[in-house]
Amino acid sequence: MQNFIPINIVVGDRTYRIKVNQDDEMKVKGIAQQLNEQLSNFKAKYAGKDMQDYLAMVLLWYVSEQPSLANDATIPNIEHLLNDMESSLDEVLES
């Protein structure tokens, strides 16, 4: 039986509460750290964009740099995170 725990991760200055398998906690936090580092890189390189542009660029970078993800068991966790981020972005855009 999988032991899911709630964790908070920060991506793009926003906090997301997600449930992950306890064994994957550090992996997911590491991915969030990678995303934030790349987000900072894109902000420095492409000044003047809005956060949605930066997040889109980072996610496209991540997917293109991680070809082994297609066979990785963490896809549902990442998919859940991306869905949460998309919902949050939609809320911001609507307001």
64 to 20, 46, 57, 61: CA distances (angstroms): 23, 19, 11, 5
Q: Is residue 40 part of a domain?
A: no
Residue/partner pairs of 19-27 with CB below 8 Å, 24 or more apart: 19/80, 20/77, 21/77, 24/74, 24/77, 27/74
For residue range 29-58, what is the model confidence (pLDDT) as tens digits?
Answer: 998 999 999 999 999 998 888 888 998 888
Coil, strand or helix: which one is 70?
helix
Mean predicted confidence (pLDDT) in 4-27: 92
Domain extent at residue 53:
4-28+47-94
Q: Is residue 38 part of a domain?
A: no
Total-model pTM: 0.64
Angle at 48 between CA 46 and CA 53, to 5 degrees: 70
Domain count, the chain: 1
pLDDT recorded at residue 5? 93
Q: Is residue 80 part of a domain?
A: yes
